[in-house]
């Protein structure tokens, strides 16, 4: 994508900063992964973690459903762990040309909470890379309770007030009127008034419709 759409800016940056194209592509890739707000982990066949972005590190440190045990990826569910290991092996076999299953998906249940979902895919190094023989899988992990749009982005996109943006973030996270009111020590009528304004400004009429709209915007890529 970088090569196709940004050849001239890349060349300019190379000249100005003495960076190679590979350097710039790594920078762009890193920024893309961080902005995706998706926990991303690269693991070896035995589950050893070799790379994790900020979202993944936070998830691992919380020890919530997935964690690092002596440097190896583990889950809170025995069956999910077995499935995850099988997906990792399949992805690595596919990456090395052994005809594996190319990964797949895993769901990890959590008590009284929304589950984590994981997409396992082959981690392929460039053919000319010195690390071409490096065999690993890349995991993309989504925690629905950690996904939230940026407040400033919501205000800019839809003209929400700071208070409305705060309520909107709770809506995206699945919060109910009662939970939002209790969390912010507000009356139900106040929260409902904010909801009415949010729906009016976004052209939606209910929470599911509003959440669907926000999930399709760049607000999820913004922070703060």
pLDDT of 188 reads 94
- pLDDT, mean of residues 45-50: 90
Domains of the chain and CATH, by start = 1-35 (no CATH), 37-142 (3.30.450.20), 151-221 (1.10.10.10)
Distances (CA, A) of 69 to 47, 55, 73, 89, 141: 10, 18, 6, 19, 18
* Nearest-angstrom CA–CA distance, 166 and 148: 10
pTM of the model: 0.66
> If DSSP codes are grouped into helix, strand and coil, which group holds residue 223?
coil
Model confidence pLDDT, tens digit, residues 171-188: 988 889 999 999 999 999
* Nearest-angstrom CA–CA distance, 87 and 119: 9
The per-residue pLDDT of the chain, averaged, comes to 81
């Amino acid at each position: 994508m970088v090569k196709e759409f940004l050849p001239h800016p890349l060349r300019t940056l190379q000249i100005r900063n003495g960076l190679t194209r590979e350097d710039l592509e790594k920078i762009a890739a890193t920024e893309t992964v961080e902005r995706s707000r998706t926990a991303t982990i690269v693991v070896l066949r035995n589950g050893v973690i070799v790379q994790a972005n900020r979202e993944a590190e936070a998830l691992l440190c919380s020890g919530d459903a997935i964690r690092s045990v002596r440097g190896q990826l583990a889950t809170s569910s025995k069956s999910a762990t077995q499935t995850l290991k099988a997906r990792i092996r399949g992805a690595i076999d596919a990456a090395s040309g052994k005809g594996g299953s190319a990964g797949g998906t895993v769901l990890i249940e959590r008590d009284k909470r929304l589950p984590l979902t994981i997409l396992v895919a082959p981690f392929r190094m460039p053919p000319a890379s010195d690390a071409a023989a490096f065999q690993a899988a890349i995991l993309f992990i989504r925690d629905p309770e950690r996904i939230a749009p940026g407040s400033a982005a919501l205000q800019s996109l839809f003209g929400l007030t700071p208070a409305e943006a705060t309520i909107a973030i709770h809506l995206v996270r699945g919060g109910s009127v009662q939970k939002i009111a209790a969390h912010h020590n507000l009356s139900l009528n106040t929260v409902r008034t904010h909801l009415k304004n949010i729906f009016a400004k976004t052209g939606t009429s209910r929470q599911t419709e509003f959440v669907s709209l926000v999930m399709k915007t760049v607000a999820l890529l913004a922070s703060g």
